[in-house]
Amino acid sequence: MLFTSYVFLGFLLLLFVCYYTVPKKFQWMLLLLFSYVFYFLANPYYLIYISVTTASVYYLGLKIEEQAEKQKAYLAARKGTFGKEEKKAYKKRVRKRQTGLFLAALILNLGILAVLKYTNFMIANVNGILHAIGSGHTIAFVDLLLPMGISFYTFQAVGYLIDVYRGTIPAEKNLFRFALFVSFFPQLVQGPISRFHDLSQTLYEEHEFAWSGFSRGLQRILWGYFKKLVIADRMLIGVNEIIRNPDEYTGAYVFAGMMFYALELYADFTGGIDITIGTAQCLGIRVTENFNRPYFSKSIKEYWRRWHITMGTWFTDYIFYPISVSGPMLKISKVSRKALGDRIGKRVPVYLSSFAVWLATGIWHGASWNFIVWGLGNWAVIMISQELEPLYRRFHARFHVEDKVGFRIFQIVRTILLMSCLRTFDCYRDVPLTFRMFGTMFTAGNWNILWDGSLLSLGLQLADYLVLLAGAALIFAVSMLQRSGSVREKIAAKPYPVRFAVWYGLFLIVLLMGVYGIGYDANQFIYNQF
Amino acid sequence: MKRKRIIRTACSVLVVAFTLFMLQRLLLPKYVSDVVEGRLIAEYYAEEKDHDVIFIGDCEVYENFSPKILWEDYGINSYIRGSAQQLIWQSYYLLEDTLRYEKPKVVVFNVLAMKYDEPQNEAYNRMSLEGMKWSMAKVKAIQASMTDEEHFLDYVFPILRYHSRWSSLKAEDVEYLFTDRKVSHNGYYMRVDVKPAKDVPEGKMLADYRFGENAYQYLDKMAKLCRDNDIKLVLVKAPSLYPYWYDEWERQIEDYAKQNGLLYINFLELKEETGLDYDSDTYDGGLHLNLSGAEKITAYLGQALQDEYHLTDRRSEERLSKIWADKTAAYEQDRRKQEEETEKQ
């Protein structure tokens, strides 16, 4: 069920009516029911996978906590009789048992994700090697079902498991409540990747209908549809034309496609998240924000703190830090400091941990080399800018431009251009082709196509470009306004005719200028694929 | 405070309803300057509904039969509820719809539609269904006709279907916002130009010549609906040379007509009797007849209906004669206009 389908709107309407009419103590159960129906309608077999993840993480999470409780009771009973060493040895034994349970859950769930998502990628690579060594043997690809949103719900469940293992949150005792945390439908498809302690605060609460909150949710949904249907799906027509015909569209077209894709991806992904957060808000549930005006970032490092925030923090908390402080990494740190000196040696573990994070980020985005190269490209740019920090410092000490508006705009534009360059791997989805197309930007010499009307041959009319231009300007204006607080609250403070004109006007824009219905492809949100 | 809120809400609802209504009117295709076939179905509702004969079917009825001849020669008051690629279930539900307003003595159905057993094309669906007034017949017609890509909601709120027309609106979209322009003569779409039928392609071999179950089911329903309402159902095959009419199809229709006691007239086999000349009586190389061809085969059909069902000659009815006098004037004016335009070319 696509967020942009009539069925989804009908589904939401039915849910909202039921949600606020059933006794409040049943609200979370109703949400679970609707979440499973949502998933069932996508494909009944998906339920098997999400149920396995839910049941295994729930059960093993409980078992891990049970070990901690047993330990607590055991030590309390022996208070004063146990020596320090005995206590330490006992704790070690318990931790070992917990680690066993933790690893079992981790291997099972990441194993399911790896098998379903990456088997054919592995087979393709093995076949490539076999071909390279002249073997006539090839392995047949397997037809595996890839459940919708598996990367999102698996990461959400694994995050919960790690938190229980670390003892930072108590394990959820009710299987069905936990099932709702894993399957909460608005975020099932494309995130955000919520943490249990964040989402659970409002997910299971009883919610009284309040028009102010409900209307804010609807407004956020409408804004999401504007970005998705008016901007992203319109821009997609041009992007597809360019990337599907690489022989025809080279040079400046690649640049245009790159910039078009920057707008499309932003509108698509943030639009989808707006619909998710807006839906949750209509239900009285708070979902973590996933974006913070990322295109205003002055560096790629900052960009990744503001784009897909929940994924970034997930990788930082659950991969970067554990690797950085792991035993082997501490050893590497020691060895590298000894061999390379303190200044360089201390940076080696950071580089290696970051490398692991960006490799995982690339792989998480998709089972193909383009995503891996894209991930490592991000890593390389971040590491290079880190290495160039002393140079930047010297530059700023001499020219004092850091606080100048012009320089900040230069930094923002530079970040957008760098990120757009990296995303060409995502566009063409073929590493050699991406390099080739990127190269044509410097050799084709056809920059005149940007202003001689050639862009009108990409399936977009002048009217479409005007809509895109106006839409992008509106998004920019809203982003500027957001810096001083919620735009919806600002609008809410205006007189009724103004409020009505703004929201009804936006509704009409989506209705009339949205790219939907017959004549257009019903496009999935880009992040549905991950 | 409460009163103020009620007034505010009521005003908002009114503004929303009014703007959406106006926008929908504006964005709907007007089918005036091109693809006029889209207007045919809706024109029926403005008629006085007292017809003796109703035609249902695809372009082979609305381009090949002229109700004016039936009136002029036999005093038969008839109307064509035809539309482009009208599928048999659409014909059936259009008949149901017609019976809500009147009970004709004879229904003439063109059998080419039997070749389709499942939904075909959204654009043609729109032309057949959009003009229908809302009723259960329309609901069922939509459900039976929708292709996989279509949604029922788009028929209920056509603005959802035509929302993107904002960038291609023409002056006629404003001109015909609330007014209509008649494009047919009792459902007949007149063409006077000539393009002789030459090199008409033979029919390609088919894997299966049997008409589909769904098509038969609707033909049965049509026959039953006519029986139940004491209406004579006449099956016709218009003399269009293309799409090709196979012998195997012909035999199936002959058998069906025989088994159900229906009159069946295949005009493809009546070239001599009707005097049809494919050099001068078609405007598109044999696919459809022009006015001259349509008048010839309508004259033959009128005689057949008279012979078979002894329909009353109503030319003595003053009120009806007056209506037809106006219709005939418009018909002749259209003919002259088209002839002048053809001569100019």
Distance between CA atoms of residues A457 and A447, nearest Å:
15
To the nearest whole angstrom, how far is the Cα of B125 from the nearest Cα of chain A? 13
- What is the extent of the structural domain holding B143? 40-172+185-344
Are A463 and B167 inside 8 Å of each other by CB? Answer: yes
- A455-481: average pLDDT: 95
pLDDT at A529: 43
pLDDT digits (tens, 9 = 90+) for B94-121: 999 999 999 999 999 999 999 999 999 8
Q: How confident is the model at residue A326 (pLDDT cuts 50, 70, 90)?
A: confident
pLDDT digits (tens, 9 = 90+) for A7-16: 999 999 999 9
pLDDT at B203: 83
Of all residues in chain A, the one with the smallest CA distance to B24 is A512
Q: How confident is the model at residue A266 (pLDDT cuts 50, 70, 90)?
A: very high
pLDDT at B220: 96
Are B163 and A6 inside 8 Å of each other by CB? Answer: no
User: Hey, of A229, A512, A515, A516, which one would you mutate to test binding to chain B, going by the most B CBs within 10 A of its CB?
Assistant: A512
Quote the tokens at residue B321.
């004669």
**How many distinct structural domains can be found in chain B?**
1
Interface check for A211 against chain B (CB to CB < 8 A): the answer is no
Which residues in chain B have Cβ-Cβ distances shorter than 8 Å to A512? 23, 27, 163-164, 166
pLDDT at B316: 93
pLDDT at residue B1 tops 80:
no
Pairing verdict, β B106-110 and B53-57 = parallel
- B268-273: average pLDDT: 92
Name the residue among A463, A513, A517 with its Cβ closest to that of B160.
A517
pLDDT digits (tens, 9 = 90+) for A350-363: 899 999 999 999 99
Pairing verdict, β B232-237 and B53-57 = unpaired
Are B154 and A518 inside 8 Å of each other by CB? Answer: yes
pLDDT at residue A95 tops 50:
yes
- A487-491: average pLDDT: 95
pLDDT digits (tens, 9 = 90+) for A362-391: 998 888 999 999 999 999 999 999 889 889
Are B166 and A513 inside 8 Å of each other by CB? Answer: yes
Q: Any idea which of A213-222, A393-402, A457-466 has the lowest mean pLDDT?
A: A393-402
pLDDT digits (tens, 9 = 90+) for B233-258: 999 999 999 889 999 999 999 999 99
Question: Residue B264 belongs to a domain with what CATH number?
Answer: 3.40.50.1110
Paired with B81 in beta bridges are B56
pLDDT at A519: 59
Which residues in chain B have Cβ-Cβ distances shorter than 8 Å to A461? 167
Interface check for B148 against chain A (CB to CB < 8 A): the answer is no
Are A517 and B163 inside 8 Å of each other by CB? Answer: yes
Distance between CA atoms of residues A478 and B59, nearest Å:
53
pLDDT at residue A303 tops 90:
yes
Quote the tokens at residue A293.
């005006």
Rg of chain B on CA atoms, in Å: 22
Interface check for A495 against chain B (CB to CB < 8 A): the answer is no
- What number of other Cβ atoms are within 10 A of residue A176's Cβ? 13
Quote the tokens at residue B52.
């003796």
**Domain-embedded: residue B287:** yes
Which residues in chain B have Cβ-Cβ distances shorter than 8 Å to A508? 19, 23
Interface check for A498 against chain B (CB to CB < 8 A): the answer is no
- A324-329: average pLDDT: 86
Cβ neighbours of residue A105 under 8 Å, at least 6 residues apart?
A56, A57, A60, A61, A158, A161
Q: What is the mean pLDDT of chain A?
A: 92
pLDDT at residue A271 tops 60:
yes
pLDDT at A526: 46
Interface check for B7 against chain A (CB to CB < 8 A): the answer is no
Which residues in chain B have Cβ-Cβ distances shorter than 8 Å to A513? 163-164, 166
Nearest residue to B76 (alpha-carbon basis) of B317, B334, B332, B335: B317
pLDDT digits (tens, 9 = 90+) for A146-168: 899 999 999 999 999 999 999 99
pLDDT at residue A528 tops 60:
no
Which residues in chain A have Cβ-Cβ distances shorter than 8 Å to B16? 504
- B50-71: average pLDDT: 95
Q: Where are the domains of chain A?
A: 6-209
